[in-house]
């Protein structure tokens, strides 16, 4: 079996963590919001945006690691702007499509990347323990 590189494994578990978070928050949110489907769709939409953000960050850093420090810093400042635009598009789309995506759900879903990053060591440890 081919061993997955550690940074790819981290990205994979980060994205899996985003959707585990989205599922858990959607279930809990169902108790607090009258439009449960809209809230859950909003959370998953935000989590998709967070996953795209993570994937872009991974690819961006892979390319920047092959550059000298000055070029990498310049490139990453532009790439950070792209990631900010990704999140803005996700949130604005959530606001525009209010009949399908609850804005609170979208915002909560965007935070999936943060929660998943904190849970990352647990996921990696568990996957290595079970391997």
- Residues near 128 by beta carbon (within 8 Å), at least 6 away in sequence: none
What is the pLDDT at residue 42?
Answer: 96
- In terms of phi and psi (left: phi > 0; alpha: psi -120 to 50; beta: otherwise), the region of 55 is alpha
- Mean of the pLDDT values across residues 21-39? 93
Average pLDDT, the chain: 89
What is the pLDDT at residue 30?
Answer: 87
What is the pLDDT at residue 4?
Answer: 59
What is the pLDDT at residue 7?
Answer: 84
- Mean of the pLDDT values across residues 52-73? 93
Q: Which of 38, 56, 45 is nearest to 18 (CA)?
A: 45
- Residue 1 predicted with pLDDT over 60: no
CA distance to 75, 98, 127, per residue, from 53 (Å): 16, 22, 23
C-alpha to C-alpha distance for 64 and 98, rounded to whole angstroms? 38
What is the pLDDT at residue 119?
Answer: 82
Cβ contact 29:128 at 8 Å: no
Residue 85 confidence class, pLDDT cut points 50, 70, 90: very high
C-alpha to C-alpha distance for 126 and 116, rounded to whole angstroms? 14
pTM given for the model: 0.83
- Mean of the pLDDT values across residues 28-42? 93
């Amino acid at each position: 079996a081919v061993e997955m590189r550690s940074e790819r494994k981290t990205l994979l578990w980060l994205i899996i963590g985003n959707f585990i978070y989205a599922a858990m928050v959607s279930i809990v949110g169902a108790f607090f919001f009258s439009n449960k489907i809209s809230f859950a769709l909003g959370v998953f939409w935000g989590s998709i945006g967070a996953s795209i953000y993570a994937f872009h960050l991974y690819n961006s850093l892979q390319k920047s690691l092959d550059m000298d420090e000055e070029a990498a810093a310049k490139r990453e400042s532009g790439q950070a702007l792209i990631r900010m635009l990704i999140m803005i598009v996700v949130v604005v789309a959530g606001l525009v499509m209010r009949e399908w995506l609850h804005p609170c759900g979208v915002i909560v879903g965007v935070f999936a990347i943060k929660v998943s990053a904190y849970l990352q060591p647990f996921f990696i440890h568990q996957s290595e323990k079970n391997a």
